[in-house]
Structure 1
Amino acid sequence: MEYILILYLFHHLTISTILKIMNPVMGNSSEINKDATKYIKRTTDPENLEASNNKLKELISKFHEKDIKVVLDGVFNHSGSFNKWLDREGLYEGENGAYESKDSPYRDYFVFSEDTWPNNESYEAWWGYKTLPKLNFEGSKELEESILNVASGWVGEGVNADGWRLDVAADLGHSAGYNHKFWNIFRNSVKGANNEAVIYAEVYGDSSGWLNGQEWDSVMNYDAFFEPISFFLTGMEKHSYYKRDDLKNNSKNFEKDLREKMAKLPYNSLLSAMNQLDNHDHSRFITRTTGYVDKERSNSDVSRPEEADRNENLGILKEAVVFQMTLPGAPTLYYGNEAGVPGFTDPDSRRTYPWGDENMELMEFYKDIISIHKKYSCFINGSMTSLYSKSSGLYSFGRWDNNYRSVVVFNNNDTEKKISIPVALLGSNDSDIYREIYITDQNSHVTGKESLTVNKGDVSVTIPAFGTKILMSDVDKPIDEISYAIDFIRPKIVATSVEKNETINMDDSLVVEFDQLMIQRDVSTGFIIEPKIDGVFSWNGTKVSFTPVAGWKKGRTYQVLLNRDIRSVAGELSLNEELKFVFNIGE
């Protein structure tokens, strides 16, 4: 395994990506069926375990020598049934696992519903998988401390791993309250050992409740990248279990989905979120481009691996990778994507790397697009707004910062298309020039040669079938001039339910209307009332209402501030100006 990893390390350097996911490098239960004696030796012998730890430390050091960071995978919600704490398989002589004995020192690490020792099968398992016994953190302070020591030890001095990716992090514990409490303690432990260590979490759905600066740093971006991209470009569910033809090429739904899901992530978390197209748990994206629904797997746990690369569409794959390298977030590459490795969902998605049989055109494409991501700062920390989503299978967005304005255009149709992109939304003026810097289609990827001139606020772009174009305009005018242009599209407050110095009733709500959709999290923190009063926010499109829980205080005067930090969903532009006013409550 050491030599394979080192070989892949130098392959990684030729690809020069941002984040790369590899399969486990430690022992796992699947090895038991292949060679039980070897597996038991690897996982029970103290000397061997110490040697394994030292080897991983050595590998981390080798990666650091090449300026590559290593984020470890932490599975803390559950253990394996073969772990010595439970030892269902009876691998650990003399360890007295909780499965075997009621008097085990690890009994409280798990929840048992019946008193049926020895060989107690009534332990709680994650989603019913008996090989994955759920850990009982609330029942054992010793378990909690053990995991926290692991978390801090591997990122601390002497090892210096660069962070943790937390498996099924929202499931840990037996209550939401404990879950949040644990991740707060976990964060303090990790950051105390290495303040630069990053904490990523695997979670499906809204993760904003954990991204408060006290728990996780960011997430595996299923909600605001993985799933919207897959449905728009292929119509396929992430496991290839079903297809949604109503979502494929549905540009308006795609734009809405991206906008609303991105708005739920704090901006720093969005910029660092793991933007991945696939991973070990799901079918590979290149397989989803075939449109083949793996019905047999979803119904009877049998798949047809020979279908995984039949009729694959490399043009669609390249579209997805261009999204990955240009949308806000940290591009995260699953090993083998760059070589064209196909595969249905786990375990078929874990095929071996095809040494000597890589798709070289795809390899060169990955090198190019990763270089573009790194070269242009607007793709790393620039602002973003959608520019075009009117037509089926056509979409465009812009990214900009103090150095560059970029336009990225996608055509997911089987014929060439020509559209006009409103670059005035990026602060561009007539006669400004956009250069075509990169073009992809099914069969090729090339550096663009044409220059496009802005006319009446638009640039006219022709995009090949199943293709993309990246346009770039250097910022060659003073930034205040660009800011002046952007001011025209900043969100504005168009109405309030209360006039300045007006007197209202104790049970009235305070309503503010914006001229566009706003990031709700920003409004909840940037809508300040003095003196403070407990209340709830409710939304109806562009209108937000604040209603005090116990009503306004009779005879009191209140001051309201809506600060400029409140941002729009489209483009994440701040308010054009803050709003202050006072009002009174009647006697």
Structure 2
Amino acid sequence: MNRANIKLLSLVAITIMFVACNPTIKTDTATDIPEWSQQAVWYQIFPERFSNGDDGNNPTAENIKAPDGWEIHDWTSDWYERTEWEINAADNFYWTVRKRRYGGDLQGVINKLDYLKDLGITAIYFNPIFDARTEHKYDASFYHHIDRFFGSDPSGDEAIFAKETHNDPTTWEWTSADKLFLELIEEAHKRGIHIVIDGVFNHTGPEFWAFADIVKNQEKSEYKDWYDIISFDNPETPDVNEFDFKGWAGYKGLPEFKEKDGNIVEPARKHIFDITRRWMDPNGDGDPSDGIDGWRLDVAFDVGHGFWHEWTDLVRSINSKAYITAEIWEREQAMEYINEDECDAVMNYPFLRAVHEFLIRQSISAETFDSALRVVRDAYPKEVNLAMMNLMGSHDTERLASMIVNDTNKFKAGTKLGERRNLDYSVEAPTKANIEVQKLVALFQYTYIGSPMVYYGDESGVWGADDPDDRKPMIWPEFEYDDETNHPFGKEVKASKVAFNSHLHAWYKKIAAIRNSNKSLQLGDYKTLYTNNKEKIFVFERRYEDEIAIVGFNRSNEAVEVTIETAEANKVFKEVLQGLEYKIVDGKITFNIRPVSGIVLVN
């Protein structure tokens, strides 16, 4: 979700300098983390913008309450070019962009599963897919149904909604969208790809069926105790509506469930438990193989531990190999939620910040970079570190490519152009030199301890500022795209070519194959071998049983020769990026690293 106003304060305050003053705290217990999550190569999909596989199910103007003249947006159009309906509706690009729909759906994902398999992806994390009005779907209207416009028969799905008793699971049916999602799970599993979905259990949208009943019936609603209601409307004052409630972060578009003693109140909790069973074991036969493989928990820190304890027990009882990760941005807070009773891991934003400072901004030394990473590693057992989602961008950040283009900016500083009106931020495409840096960052993601996560399109050349500019339509090789020649605030920009970057795609495919074929890079212990501040060199080792990988990075603009002392004897290492061989001689191994490049040696 978009929560930069709240998070930016903490992100700015907690800089890389915490290394020098914060003690590390090791958790005492590790969860029984599924090994598949530790070996995963993650791919995050924002469904509305990934692929349109069915033109017959596109959202309607009526459903999204669109302005006059609204129509589905052209997938290949210039992102900042405003159509006639947008121009007529508002003066500002950012006032209308959230009403855009491009028609991405589940059939589109199914059609591209072979593309993901070929890319080396072994796990998909979906942004919310439950029925909702917005493009981001964090405002659910149902938990027990997939979004009607992600399926094949939106009107038929609506007919099913209308005849159900939503708080009675025995009346629930499977809509076309529900069935298509189950087909997607089956097809993904055939390809060895696991499926994790977003669990948004702190709040719903105002059109969620239980909240809508409260709006209609006020104190007479049987669901009045589900939400944190401040006051009901007084029927004796028809000119004033006193109805008020708590919304997430004060936003009334996301009404919050009521909590008591650190737990979501029982009626709402029961419903969440019911839908958890529905998606984890759809046919209810006790075999979870037809269901999802785990959950990513939205704003997990805004829900009490009591709820997560009970919910996690339920998840483990359904599927002992299910993976639970969470959106928690800070290490100290994450340590409260990663344990055997709650989360397996989190989205590793401290990793992102450290990599951003060293490989992108070049604002810290190799030694400080090493210290920053060590603080995060030392907070958790090895099993947790292996399962951390090592991302370099998401739906809540600017794109990796744009981070590199704007490499003097601090992470999350001035990246939300719609809020900051940052005219200094470059919206132009990355250069060839920028792409080389992206390749270096990706190599670090794929070889460092933890599981790499790719935000859809990073591998194909998508760039963009923070939300909503990080949610452009996916770039596919079969399409021809308009050049980007516009700026959100009318500033003159040079034309940016939009096209599938086959060179970058081949790189992501190559490093995924390297990771997927070497247990040392998936499950191996981690050890820093060498840092050189002046020459910007960073070298580490991953070791699993007898398998060893030595990985080196050169962030400087000059080739550097590196010599590493080792206790290993008579071993030959193959450099898997270029196919060269290196031998240990007199207890040392020497290799060259090209400028802004890396090297991966495996024995």
- Fold-level similarity (TM above 0.5): yes
SS at match of 1:398: strand
Among 417, 424, 427, which residue is 1:307 paired with? 427
1:437 is the counterpart of 2:576: yes
1:15 is the counterpart of 2:15: no
With structure 1 as the length reference, what TM-score do the two structures score?
0.68
Among 131, 152, 160, which residue is 1:46 paired with? 160
Counterpart of 1:217?
A: 344
- 2: CA distance between counterparts of 1:192 and 1:267? 24
Counterpart of 1:123?
A: 245
Counterpart of 1:169?
A: 300
Amino acid at match of 1:160: G
- Cα displacement (A) at 1:120: 4.8
Amino acid at match of 1:106: Y
- 1: CA distance between counterparts of 2:185 and 2:272? 21
1:454 is the counterpart of 2:571: no
* Equivalent runs, 1:63-142 vs 2, <5 Å: 63-87=188-212, 96-98=213-215, 101-117=218-234, 119-120=241-242, 122-138=244-260, 140-142=265-267
Among 475, 491, 503, which residue is 1:354 paired with? 475
Distance 1:74 1:43, change over 3 A: farther
Amino acid at match of 1:334: Y
- 1: CA distance between counterparts of 2:228 and 2:420? 29
- Point out the structure with max Rg over C-alpha: 1
* Equivalent runs, 1:465-504 vs 2, <5 Å: 465-473=595-603
Contact conserved, 2:388 with 2:450, CA < 8 A, in 1?
yes
Counterpart of 1:208?
A: 335
Percentage identity across aligned positions?
Answer: 25
Among 457, 467, 471, which residue is 1:336 paired with? 457
Contact conserved, 1:20 with 1:332, CA < 8 A, in 2?
no
SS at match of 1:185: helix
Contact conserved, 2:126 with 2:198, CA < 8 A, in 1?
no
- 2: CA distance between counterparts of 1:373 and 1:10? 19
Amino acid at match of 2:186: S
- 2: CA distance between counterparts of 1:32 and 1:63? 23
- 1: CA distance between counterparts of 2:192 and 2:598? 31
Contact conserved, 1:137 with 1:143, CA < 8 A, in 2?
no
1:60 is the counterpart of 2:185: yes
More strand by share: 1
1:269 is the counterpart of 2:384: yes
Contact conserved, 1:166 with 1:200, CA < 8 A, in 2?
yes
SS at match of 1:30: coil
- 2: CA distance between counterparts of 1:183 and 1:268? 21
Contact conserved, 1:200 with 1:216, CA < 8 A, in 2?
yes
- 1: CA distance between counterparts of 2:110 and 2:538? 40
Amino acid at match of 1:211: I
- Cα displacement (A) at 1:78: 1.2
- 2: CA distance between counterparts of 1:297 and 1:216? 29
Among 460, 464, 476, which residue is 2:594 paired with? 464
SS at match of 1:328: coil
Counterpart of 2:483?
A: none
Deviates more, 1:108-117 or 1:363-372: 108-117
| Residues matched between the structures, number | 431
SS at match of 2:328: coil
Quick one: higher RCO (CA 8 Å, sep 6+), 1 or 2? 2
- Cα displacement (A) at 1:455: 4.2
* Equivalent runs, 1:132-531 vs 2, <5 Å: 132-138=254-260, 140-156=265-281, 158=283, 159-172=290-303, 179-205=304-330, 206=332, 207-223=334-350, 225-235=351-361, 246-247=363-364, 250-291=365-406, 293=409, 295=414, 297=416, 300-302=419-421, 307-311=427-431, 313-356=434-477, 357-392=499-534, 393-422=536-565, 424=566, 427-429=567-569, 432-438=571-577, 447-449=578-580, 451-455=581-585, 457-473=587-603
- 2: CA distance between counterparts of 1:99 and 1:459? 73
Deviates more, 1:44-53 or 1:7-16: 44-53
SS at match of 2:526: strand
Amino acid at match of 2:225: D
Q: Could you list the runs of 5+ residues in structure 1 that have no partner in the other structure?
A: 88-95, 173-178, 236-244, 439-446, 474-587
- 1: CA distance between counterparts of 2:157 and 2:135? 11
SS at match of 2:342: coil
Q: Deviations over 1:445-498 (max 9, x none)?
A: xx232x33334543222211111011122xxxxxxxxxxxxxxxxxxxxxxxxx
RMSD: 2.8
With structure 2 as the length reference, what TM-score do the two structures score?
0.66
Q: Deviations over 1:174-230 (max 9, x none)?
A: xxxxx222111111111111222111111122322322212112221222x222112
Distance 1:163 1:42, change over 3 A: farther
Contact conserved, 2:122 with 2:192, CA < 8 A, in 1?
no
- 2: CA distance between counterparts of 1:155 and 1:181? 21
Q: Deviations over 1:77-128 (max 9, x none)?
A: 11112222223xxxxxxxx234761322222222233344575553111112
Amino acid at match of 2:250: G
Distance 1:81 1:219, change over 3 A: same
